[in-house]
Structure 1
């Protein structure tokens, strides 16, 4: 790789990291406007709807690529990829028949805290992952086992095949 290419890639990565934080600022400014206009309770409902729409978009992207809707590992790996793109540290781990999505670092925790809403990130992530999974396949479920914002060492979500009968 040439120095020019290497320098260009480094700049692109710096710019992308900056854009992640800019998008957080946009989100939190939007949230503040909602609170000013509609109050705290309605803001919670509207933010929940925002993350629901994000989940629908994630699912649409997954489905447009023709990915397997019955391959739980592939689904969770797509969520890992989405998380990494957003500057989060994430991985998937097989645990028996379940697949764990584990985050050990996430910039959302700090941005929520900086904007006066510490710990509120979990509800958004829960809604995002729940909605995306439901739109991809109703044969699976997700539950949150731990949360960084609650002081735990990871955000861990457990994806499982639903049992019927």
Structure 2
């Protein structure tokens, strides 16, 4: 029984992390993770501060890990689709400013949250660029919707310096 408990705890933490980082757990409190230790004390970590999580069992170095893209990964020009065959260019600057070539061009700001880029445009639209499996996708939300709602459209996203 003693050897089953650490494995169960590791599996439970892994499932929690996967659902949190994959966007399956879309609650308004999804900006942090709380770890409860054996002695009952808890520690909270902001997801924006976490780059990698490792789960080890039996003291072995091999285990399960989750890698999140870093903030700097998102800085630059991105070609993004709307899922309808139209492509646009988003530019995310180091200072948190954003611009795009939709229509006459739009200005916005962006922030790094839980391993993804969240962009809020001055016209009320907002987008997420998120790594899903081995590629990046752009999720668009109409004015009035939140980042936790169903997106209005989803399309591919490629950083312009990356091979397509």
Give the structure-1-normalised TM-score.
0.22
> Over alpha carbons, which structure has the higher Rg?
2
Larger helix proportion of the pair: 1
**RCO higher in structure (CA 8 A, sep ≥6):** 1
